[in-house]
Amino acid sequence: MIMQDPKYSLNPVMPVGAQIGEALLRAGSLGRAECRDQVEQLLARVHIREPGRVAQQYPHQLSGGMGQRVMIAMMLAQKPRLLIADEPTSALDVSVRREVLDLLDELVAEQGLSLLFITHDLNLVGRFCDRVLVMYAGRVVEALGAAELAHAQHPYTRALLSAVPSLKHRRATLPVLQRDPAWSAA
């Protein structure tokens, strides 16, 4: 699982290469030299320049984008078929956010991975997802294709969409969601 903020997900007293190495060692039987080579290959795979140098660094020495790439490399060490990404770009600035999203998109396409993307950012959902499950109070209230998101039927989904800021349609206040207890009983 790729967590929201690598600053809090990576071990602060252990070099990132050793953390990726732990994931590799759990996945199979590798010697130290093979493990070190695999760590560098994984870091290069997530577009980190100078992977040997970065592998020796501690999490606090990395930028947010590099930390998130390290998290992705660590998850790839297990050779998953499914990556779960929980708000993987919310702690990143806009330009780095796009790079990380493009990397996830690339991994899905090239390695045939499935991606479960947990987010509150409906703009990202429309651009990077195929299917959408909208949850309210821990329950799925609507399931639809991402291309159909603008035509959602459930009142909660429509309320979420109406709260997305827009440069085209300025408004003084955001709409207030009128909650219905029946939504969480469905």
Is-contact 81 107, C-beta < 8 A?
no
Q: Is pLDDT at 69 greater than 60 in this prediction? A: yes
Q: Band of the pLDDT at 72, cuts 50, 70, 90? A: very high
Q: Band of the pLDDT at 16, cuts 50, 70, 90? A: very high
Q: Which two tokens stand for residue 75?
A: 């998850």
**31 vs 88: CA distance, rounded Å:** 31
Is-contact 1 74, C-beta < 8 A?
no
pLDDT at 185: 67
Decide which of 50 and 121 is more confident.
Answer: 50
Q: Is pLDDT at 45 greater than 90 in this prediction? A: yes
Q: Band of the pLDDT at 162, cuts 50, 70, 90? A: confident
Q: Is pLDDT at 118 greater than 60 in this prediction? A: yes
**112 vs 96: CA distance, rounded Å:** 24
Is-contact 56 43, C-beta < 8 A?
no
pLDDT (tens digit per residue) in 78-112? 899 999 999 998 888 888 998 999 999 999 999 99
Other CB atoms closer than 10 Å to residue 138's CB: what's the count? Answer: 6
Residue 61: in which H helix or E strand, if any? none
Pairing of strands 131-136, 82-86: unpaired
